[in-house]
Amino acid sequence: MAKKEKQSIHPAIRLVISACLLLTFVNSLSVFVLGLFGEVASGTLTSYHSRLDDHGAEANRSRTTSKSYRFTADGKEYKGYVIYNSDEAWPNLQDGEVRRELISYLAVFPYLNKPTHQVEFGVLGFTGLFYHVLIVAGCCVLFLLVNGWLPGRRNRGLKRLKEQRKGG
């Protein structure tokens, strides 16, 4: 008897990869959901930091910016945090300093929120929108592939197995 080849991914690794893909999928999908259905509130930055990474980088890639913010929706306060690449170089917040930021949030689920400049289609442009479309589609395909749920894959394996049994 021939030894069976094990071709499946270890369940723990499959779980980690699936979780990462789902997180990336939700993050990119939230850009479209907030851009189409999001409401805007004025928020307050609670922390801001901009770190210069590369002097010679292409546009919007020279700095890593991180922001913590809070905003109020329907009388309840919500908090958010975001990290992104940009050329934005404000000075860091000083003690007691207040800066305003427009925040887009989903009215039915305010925990889904981002600064408005990250979800406006006009600011993202064609390239940004295309990037998020590719991320959503790519994550779906990879998720199905990792978990072995692609429709045609199982049938091909069965056909090969039947051919091997008939021939040998």
Mean pLDDT of the chain: 88
pLDDT of residue 144: 94
Residue 38 has pLDDT above 60, yes or no: yes
Helix (H, G, I), strand (E, B) or coil at 108: coil
pTM equals 0.78
| Mean pLDDT confidence for 100-114 | 96
Given a cut of 60, whether residue 128 has pLDDT beyond it is yes
Local confidence band at 73 (pLDDT 50, 70, 90 cut-offs):
very high
Residue 129 token pair: 């929108």
47-51 own/partner pairs: CB under 8 Å, 24+ apart: 47/93, 48/90, 48/92, 48/93, 48/99, 49/92, 50/86, 50/88, 50/89, 50/90, 50/92
Which amino acid is present at 114?
Answer: K
The strand pair at 76-86 and 100-106 is best described as unpaired
Most confident of the ranges 27-31, 53-57, 83-87: 27-31
154-168 pLDDT, tens digit each: 556 566 766 777 765
**What does the alpha-carbon distance between residue 68 and residue 92 come to, in Å, rounded to a whole number?**
12
Is residue 4 over pLDDT 90?
no
Distances (CA, A) of 153 to 17, 84, 158: 19, 37, 9
**What is the per-residue pLDDT for 117?**
93
